[in-house]
Structure 1
């Protein structure tokens, strides 16, 4: 808040400026070696001395790590295999149930056909009861384990 004895035109407003940080260079492992100092002579005669930007020795390459661990791959493959087995077991139980129903229908059909054939044999297809064969049974006598007719 401004006091009444201050002139508003004399007030300076300062806006903060963000500090721009340069992007960080990626770190690469470098073999330590003897430091080589280079000197450069500029056209105006000044000499600049410093370390080179590119090292003369080649850095040791870092072994790349796989993006996914082998354990994670094995777990994923095990899950896929388990899913495939479960599907096969579900299909197997379905096949067994279907075969059981089919065999039951075949047994029922055979019983109906065989029962109908026996009914036809007993009751006859013509309906005549006199056309059968007559068998005379005589009185048999068994004496001392011998059959006498």
Structure 2
């Protein structure tokens, strides 16, 4: 279709020399005067004529102010978190101590109530079992003539 472009030979490539382009030094001109800006309103457009004759038009800008450095607190946040954790732990331990004291007191109360019930019920039971049931206060024994023959009792 299309003929291929001719490739340079080795001799042609050896002849090719590249010369660097010299950079012209920049002549620093004195700074152009800036238009003073009143704070609180938009400044007017200013035009400055440079010494080489070019005209630059734009707004006058205030120099950039560096951001204020935020002062670090005298105590690090990690130390504050550790301290608050310790206070919370102490509060929980105090609550657990009160809880265990309450459980021990409740256990002692229940034990005393069981002992009191056993004493009252035991006394009532003893009166019912060992008490008199219509007897006059003595033991009645019927005595008969007993016959014992050859290690046998005949009554």
TM-score with structure 2 length normalisation? 0.43
- Flag the structure with larger Rg: 2
Higher relative contact order (CA 8 A, sep 6+): 1
TM-score with structure 1 length normalisation? 0.44
